[in-house]
Amino acid sequence: MRRLRQWAACAGITITALAAAPLQAQHYPTRPVRMILPSSPTGPVDVLARAISQSYGDALGQQLVLDNRAGAGGAIGAELVAHGTPDGYTIMLSHSGPLAIEHQLHLKAGYDPLRDFEPVSLVAASPYLLLVHPAVQAKSVQELIALAKSRPGKLNYASGGPGTGIHMAAELLNLVAGIKVVHVPYKGAGPGMTALLGAEVDMMFNGVSSALPQVKAGKLRALAVGSAKRSVLLPDLPTIAESGLKYDTSGWYGLVAPKGAPKAIVMQLHAGLVKALNDTPTKERLATLGIEGIGSKPEEFRGYLREEVAKWGKVIKSAGLKAQ
């Protein structure tokens, strides 16, 4: 998270890159831009997209059309974009799953994130909350671990599908805590939350933006935050690391275009995004959702993707997760 904040502090300087953009980008965009969201409505990606879409569209000079394509943990939407026309009119705002994890768990994944996308920017980051249904007899991470150890294989957790960031967050907890909470995948974080609210499952990780209203309403209990530091929105909620575990992971969101998109268009998409993230009403909106805007340069995001692919590959191997 420290490095993400450093990128956020310097992101604004890249807007000047437009001055050198080739002629091919001068008339882009001339029609609405479709933004694929590889998640269900009400999930963290959807919440983020709706928070920035107006200001981003204004910055580009065209409407952004949001298109939810949930399924296979986000791989369906990602594959659509990977094989899309690289003209800048189809882009994807994605969580970490499709961009760093999915292809390592699906033998038939129809894309490779490091090969088939043009990185535009690391858009934002938001802490995960460890959530349980109020019926679960645990009010702290330590109590949850004790409960799981007393009932091995009996507790379960929801995710937005295999390979999503919230799936891996739970598997990381299984790994570092030495417990076995069983995975129950859903077709998106939204349906997973519905299942948790209905007590179909016992626990779930989810982004602050999606989980906070349910926590404040008393419908779900937040036990801890997954990031290294506490959330400013829930300052009294401890981190998982404070329970003595080596644990630090957050949700992050990135913007990509199909491979082959002209560099000038990629830079225009990036500049528009940075302008949107620096828009005061948008910044305030994101802050209320517990989301930190970033806006890293395309090459910085490319390097970050490589690191995340390697990081989660090690977790997948250590946890004994098998590709299907």
Checking if the pLDDT of 14 tops 70, the result is no
List the structure tokens of 119.
Answer: 């990185």
Alpha-carbon gap, residue 277 to 124, rounded angstroms = 9
Report which of 233, 210, 231, 232 is spatially closest to residue 220, judged by C-alpha positions: 210
- As given in the structure block, the two tokens for residue 80 are 């659509």
Contacts of 101 (CB under 8 A, 6+ apart): 73, 163, 164, 165, 167, 168, 309, 312, 316
Res. 201 pLDDT band, cuts 50 70 90: very high
pLDDT tens digits, one per residue of 109-137: 889 999 999 999 999 999 999 999 999 99
For residue 207, list its beta bridge partners: 128
With beta carbons less than 8 A apart as the criterion, state whether 260 and 119 touch.
Answer: no
Q: Does the N-terminal peptide bond of residue 44 adopt cis geometry, omega within 30 degrees of 0?
A: no
**Alpha carbons 283 and 116: distance in angstroms, whole number:** 31
Q: Who has greater pLDDT, 224 or 289?
A: 224
Domain ranges, ordered by start, for the chain: 2-125+250-318, 127-243
Given a cut of 60, whether residue 18 has pLDDT beyond it is no
- Quote the radius of gyration of the chain (alpha carbons, Å): 19
Check whether domain 2-125+250-318 has CATH 3.40.190.150, yes or no:
yes
Provide the residue type at 148 as one letter.
Answer: A
pTM: 0.84
pLDDT 10s digits, 72-97: 888 899 999 999 999 999 999 999 99
Class of domain 127-243: alpha beta
Contact 319, 167 (CB under 8 A): no
Please enumerate in sequence order all residues whose Cβ is within 8 A of that of 216, keeping only pairs 6 or more positions apart, or say none: none
Strand partners, 33: 64
Nearest to 95 by CA among 21, 163, 180, 11: 163
How far apart CA 238 and CA 243 sit, in angstroms, is 8
Backbone angles phi, psi at 304, to 5 degrees: -65, -40
Whether 2-125+250-318 shares its CATH topology with 127-243 is answered: yes
Q: Which helix (H) or strand (E) holds 125?
A: strand 117-132
Measuring CA to CA, how many Å separate 29 from each of 18, 88, 246?
14, 8, 46
Pair of tokens at residue 268: 């225009």
Q: What is the pLDDT of residues 240-290, one digit of tens each?
A: 999 999 999 999 999 999 999 999 999 999 999 999 999 999 999 999 988
Confidence of residue 26 (pLDDT cuts 50, 70, 90): low
Question: What angle do the packed helices 280-288 and 263-277 form, to 10 degrees?
Answer: 70
Give the three-class secondary structure for 36.
strand
Sign of CA dihedral 171, 320, 116, 17: positive
